[in-house]
């Protein structure tokens, strides 16, 4: 498991004074400020974060060391990470997306279906994007208790009971 969890990303500059557009991936979006300083995916570059106001689809924020619109624009697309130990513990039935990616997925009979490539959400519920040699195309498995009764992070595997006709 990674020690870093992606909690947000930069969506360009906001205004002309070095503020950035910040998208928060936190369950309570404004909690992202409490995990400051955030880092890049390597954990080396650190960014102190101060939210300045809520805007459409996120926040305007100040990042330490970013003073100009050009510097803010240069960070467009940067994913921001917090250390796992900074984040709240999750209940047994909740998972950080990063912990699910790469897990092997087996059906209830023990047949390997594939691996989780990504976790997606298009509004209704999370979907696990599965890839594997036995799959003709990408499969989006609903991440529900009915379709995914078991997630075993210690063994690095998921037991799935896909809806009829999905595979």
Say if residues 80 and 33 touch (Cβ distance below 8 Å).
Answer: no
> What are the C-alpha distances in Å from 60 to residues 2, 20, 56, 70?
28, 6, 9, 15
- 4-86 adopts what CATH topology? Elongation Factor Tu (Ef-tu); domain 3 (2.40.30)
Contacts (Cβ under 8 Å, ≥6 apart) of 3? 43, 83, 84, 85
Encode pLDDT of 109-133 as tens digits: 999 999 999 998 877 788 999 998 8
**Distance between CA atoms of 105 and 138, rounded to whole angstroms?**
13
Encode pLDDT of 25-83 as tens digits: 888 899 999 999 999 999 999 999 999 999 998 999 999 999 999 999 999 999 999 99
128 forms bridges with which residues in the sheet?
119, 141
Closest Cα partner for 54 from 75, 36, 29?
29
* In the chain, domain spans: 4-86, 97-159
Q: At 1, is the pLDDT very low, low, confident or very high (cuts 50, 70, 90)?
A: low
User: Is the pLDDT at 107 greater than 70, yes or no?
Assistant: yes
φ/ψ bin of 124: left (φ > 0), alpha (ψ from -120 to 50), beta (otherwise): alpha
Cα 92 to chain centroid, rounded: 18
Q: Are strands 112-121 and 104-107 parallel, antiparallel or unpaired?
A: antiparallel
Q: What class, spelled out in words, does domain 97-159 have in CATH?
A: mainly beta
Structural tokens at position 162 = 């896909």
What is the model's pTM? 0.74
**Distance between CA atoms of 2 and 27, rounded to whole angstroms?**
19
């Amino acid at each position: 498991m990674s020690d870093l969890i992606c909690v947000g990303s930069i969506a360009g500059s906001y205004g002309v004074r070095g503020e950035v557009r910040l998208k928060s991936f936190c369950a309570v979006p404004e909690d992202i400020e409490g995990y400051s300083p955030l880092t890049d995916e390597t954990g080396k570059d650190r960014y102190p974060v101060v939210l300045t106001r809520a805007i459409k689809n996120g926040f305007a924020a100040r990042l330490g060391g970013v003073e100009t619109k050009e510097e803010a624009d240069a960070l467009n697309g940067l994913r921001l990470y917090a250390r796992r130990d900074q984040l709240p513990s999750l209940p047994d039935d909740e998972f950080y997306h990063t912990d699910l990616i790469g897990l092997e997925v087996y059906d209830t009979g023990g047949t390997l279906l594939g691996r989780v490539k990504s976790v997606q959400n298009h509004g209704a519920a999370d979907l696990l994007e599965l890839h594997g040699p036995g799959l003709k195309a990408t499969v989006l498995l609903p991440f529900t208790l009915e379709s995914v009764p078991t997630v075993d992070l210690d063994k690095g595997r998921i037991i799935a009971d896909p809806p009829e006709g999905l595979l």
